[in-house]
């Protein structure tokens, strides 16, 4: 049996759906289930409350064949440090120790946010302590990465996955934290325009801020690869396309997918975001490719087109 935490969330629900399609193992899902957002993805396997997982693992024992740990406080605006440390750091360490004791592979979600403002690059083979995260969320992810690299008692296989800017189905519940592909789909559909932040940094035009935009299907495929492919080294891995694109490119892709002429409007960025805003991200993916993950990833236009088609289908089904 495979265990997926954060299964009621964005990447987690897509991962569970992919694992169920593969059919290699039954999947137990872990999250807060007061509201089940994506029942079709989660299936009818065991559903485990977050706080019950350690005891459940002890009872399950050698039936567990792998743990994907994607659950976390994921908002970059959360400021409750004790809660973030408890949920993102201590809980991750608890699962790591269980997997190490049981000899079970462990793949956990880190974040590209650990790289901070990008001025020192985005190299998953560099010393991660040289980077300075800009949010408490990203700091918590870096704390786990640094701790994991120091452990001598470790799962037989482990990977910390530094996802870059993921977009795609099952993210609507994230609200303001959802991708701009989702927000611009709604804006363009409702108003015929897309609103983009102005730039406040020399060398970046309005809308010229760049991200390594990653379609969620590619994020899931890479995550499963790191758990299952033979010969993968333990460690930290960037998961991105390696090809940054501008926010203006993303907006235009949404217009194209909706078959509408582009109309971009530039607005002021809120003051509280300016100090922690990343103007450029680009995953170095040499390590991931050396691990054997060489499948083509969706281009921005391909991913946005598939995503808009899915959003339209969901809206049509609920109409």
Residues 93 and 179 in one domain: no
Residues 129 and 201 in one domain: no
pLDDT for residue 282: 96
Residues 45 and 88 in one domain: yes
Burial (CB count within 10 angstroms: exposed 0-12, middle 13-18, buried 19+), residue 176: exposed
Residues 94 and 68 in one domain: yes
**CATH label of the domain that carries residue 259:** 3.90.25.10
β-strands 165-167, 245-246 pairing: unpaired
Residues 39 and 81 in one domain: yes
Quote the domain boundaries for residue 161.
2-167+214-240+284-296
List pLDDT tens digits, range 17-28: 999 999 889 999
pLDDT at 128 over 60: yes
User: Mean pLDDT over residues 163-168, rounded?
Assistant: 97
Number of domains in the chain: 2
Residues 124 and 160 in one domain: yes
User: Mean pLDDT over residues 122-148, rounded?
Assistant: 95
Beta bridge partners of 264: 194
Residues 79 and 222 in one domain: yes
Catalytic residue list: 137, 174
pLDDT at 319 over 60: no
**CATH label of the domain that carries residue 105:** 3.40.50.720
Computed over every residue of the chain, the mean pLDDT equals: 94
Which band of pLDDT confidence, cut at 50, 70 and 90, is reported for residue 188? very high
Residues 124 and 195 in one domain: no
Residues 154 and 187 in one domain: no
Residues 88 and 226 in one domain: yes
Least confident piece of the model among 5-14, 116-125, 211-220, 269-278: 269-278
Residues 10 and 58 in one domain: yes
Report which of residues 273 and 184 the model is more confident about: 184
Q: What percent of the chain has pLDDT over 70?
A: 99
Residues 205 and 88 in one domain: no
């Amino acid at each position: 049996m495979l265990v997926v935490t954060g299964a009621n969330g964005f990447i987690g629900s897509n991962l569970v759906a992919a694992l169920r399609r593969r059919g290699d193992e039954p999947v137990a899902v872990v999250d807060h289930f007061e509201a089940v957002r994506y029942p079709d993805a989660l299936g009818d396997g065991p559903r485990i409350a977050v706080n019950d997982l350690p005891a459940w693992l002890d009872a399950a024992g050698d039936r567990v064949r792998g743990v994907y740990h994607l659950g976390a406080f994921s908002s970059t605006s959360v400021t409750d440090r004790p809660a973030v440390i408890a949920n993102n750091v201590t809980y991750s360490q608890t699962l790591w120790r269980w997997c190490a004791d049981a000899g079970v592979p462990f793949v956990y979600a880190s974040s590209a946010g650990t790289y901070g403002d990008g001025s020192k690059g985005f190299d998953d083979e560099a010393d991660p302590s040289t980077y300075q995260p800009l949010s408490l969320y990203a700091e918590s992810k870096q704390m786990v990465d640094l701790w994991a690299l120091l452990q001598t008692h470790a799962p037989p296989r482990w990977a910390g996955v530094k996802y870059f800017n993921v977009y795609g189905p099952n993210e609507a519940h994230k609200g303001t934290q959802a991708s701009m592909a989702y927000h611009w789909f709604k804006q363009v559909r409702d108003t015929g325009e897309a609103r983009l932040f102005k730039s406040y940094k020399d060398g970046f035009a309005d809308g010229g801020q760049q991200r390594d935009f990653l379609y969620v299907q590619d994020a899931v495929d890479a995550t499963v690869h790191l758990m299952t492919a033979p010969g993968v080294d333990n460690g930290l891995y960037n998961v991105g396309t390696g090809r940054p694109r501008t926010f203006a490119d993303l907006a235009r892709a949404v217009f194209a997918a909706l078959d509408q002429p582009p109309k971009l409007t530039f607005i002021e960025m809120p003051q509280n975001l300016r100090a922690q805003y990343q103007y450029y991200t680009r995953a170095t993916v040499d390590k991931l490719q050396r691990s054997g993950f060489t499948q083509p990833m969706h281009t921005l236009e391909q991913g946005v087109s598939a995503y808009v088609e899915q959003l339209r289908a969901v809206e049509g089904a609920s109409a």
